[in-house]
Structure 1
Amino acid sequence: MHGHREPATGRTLAARAAIVAVAGVAPVLVQSAANAAPIETADVGVSIPVDAHVGAVAPIAEVDPAAPLSVAAERNDPTRKRSGAVQAPLVGVDPGTLHLPDFSAPAVAPIQAPEGKIRVGSVQMDAPEWLPADITAQVNDGAAGAEASLAQTLDSAGFDPARSDRIAAEVVGKAAIGASVGSTLVSPLAGTSALIGAATGFVAGTPFAPAGWVVVTALGAGIGYGVIAAPAMLVGGAVGAAVGAVEGYNAVTP
């Protein structure tokens, strides 16, 4: 007994016809492709490695903030100290290019003193063992700050950076030497003046004894010494600074 079959509709008959057509044409297409001549492709000279990663990019190197900078960048980066002055040939100074400082030049970074050294401009010496490290650092920072400010001023006056560094170092260093020499030369007079000041302070502090004898006597000694030593130090420092400026201006070697 045959199963019941639904009558074929027009859509069903069309689908069956399409299947029969594809089944009949497919072998012919396959055979034609097998017998056909191979298709040649033009060689454009482009070679893509099999293991190439499409879209891969080189990683960006991280910048180490402690890494050394170029000489110019290091010199004008006030956020950190630089290792030393500009080491470049010193060209002759052209007076025609100089002018009054306009303070428009970029800031100049201070120079880091070597470990265990006291550096005051062009003067460098071993730090005394008895001098505390924080005091040594204060001396170095103060001298380096003054030197950097002077170098910036010289830059704004038209000096070459290497020349500015040289003059600034010589001025600060020679000023320190001059002040020391001036103080040493008048030390006998300053000592006598300190004794006179101490005696005067002792008398003046008697009404407030015994504390007055200690405090006022020490104050009188300090004033007596300073009256003689301070002017000598100022004069010596000024003379030394002038000598350093001349030497730095006329220097011909780095």
Structure 2
Amino acid sequence: MPIRPDPDTVRVGEFEAPRPEWLPIELTDRINSDAALAEARITEAWNSVGVSPDRSDRVAAATIAGAALGAGIGAVTAAIPAAVVGGVAGAGIGTGVGAVVGGVVGVGGAMIAGAAGAVGAALATGGVAAIPEIAAIPILAGGTIGTAIGAGAIIGGVAGAGLGAVGAGAAAALGGAVVGGLLGGAIGSIVGVGS
């Protein structure tokens, strides 16, 4: 039979604490219900093989608390280094991609601006001023392309770092949570058996 904790309390196995203000009541109820159900199933399994109900309750509570603690520790331990590595790799890739995209945008912008300036000068002066304007296209293009490459590299680097950190961190956190939960559950069941 699942154990129902006091209102505004989070209970996961042997671990019991007041509900933090930032944790919604609905999520607290879900955590409590799922943990209590898992604990009840473990208790039933131990009872079915002849372990006394009192002892199987202690083992189940320790197993659930250990699994939750291990999952949390494993997730954080794996996620932080993976997020750093993913962020660095993402920044490198994003900087390169951003620089290329910025260069393409810069070339296009410089060509359009230079051509528009030459056409405007030709129309305004009957073609006489178009020659210096056309000569200025490479100068304008160089500045525009350089600015666009720099801006693209910065934007790409920041975006790549963020995406790399989140992607690698989340994947590692999931793996760390699984491994930590298994280890914590095993340790919790051993501690629970000894109590």
- Secondary structure (helix, strand or coil) at the match of 2:29 reads helix
* Residue in structure 1 matched with residue 152 of structure 2 by the alignment: none
Matches within 5 A, 1:47-126: 109-126=1-18
Structure 1 residue 217: deviation in Å? 9.3
Q: After superposition, where does 1:116-195 map in structure 2 within 5 Å?
A: 116-195=8-87
Contact 2:82–2:165 (Cα < 8 Å) also in 1: no
1:229 counterpart residue number: 173
**Which has the larger share of helix?**
2
Bigger relative contact order (CA 8 A; separation at least 6): 2
Distance (Å, rounded) in 1 between the aligned partners of 2:26 and 2:18? 15
Question: Is the 1:119–1:143 Cα contact (8 Å) retained in structure 2?
Answer: yes
CA positional deviation for 1:172: 0.3
RMSD: 2.9
Aligned-pair distance for 1:185?
A: 2.5
Residue 186 of structure 1 aligns to a residue whose secondary structure is helix
Residues in 2 aligned to 1:153 and 1:247: alpha-carbon distance in whole angstroms: 18
Q: Could you tell me which residue of structure 1 aligns to residue 126 of structure 2?
A: none
Task: Give 1 or 2 for the bigger CA radius of gyration.
Answer: 1
Q: Could you report, residue by residue, the CA deviation over 1:103-160 in whole angstroms, capped at 9, with x for unpaired residues?
A: xxxxxx1110111111000111121112111111111111111111111111111111
User: CA separation of 1:221/1:184 partners in 2, compared to 1, >3 Å: closer, same or farther?
Assistant: closer
CA-CA distance at 1:220 after TM superposition: 5.9
- Tell me the number of residue pairs that the alignment of Structure 1 and Structure 2 aligns: 136
TM-score, normalization by structure 2: 0.59
TM-aligned CA deviation for residue 236 of structure 1: 1.5
Cα 1:227–1:165 change in 2 (3 A) is: same
- Runs of 4+ in structure 1 over 2 Å off: 183-188, 193-203, 216-223
Q: Which segment is superposed worse, 241-250 or 224-233?
A: 224-233
AA of the residue aligned to 1:190: A
The alignment's TM-score, normalised by the length of structure 1, stands at 0.46
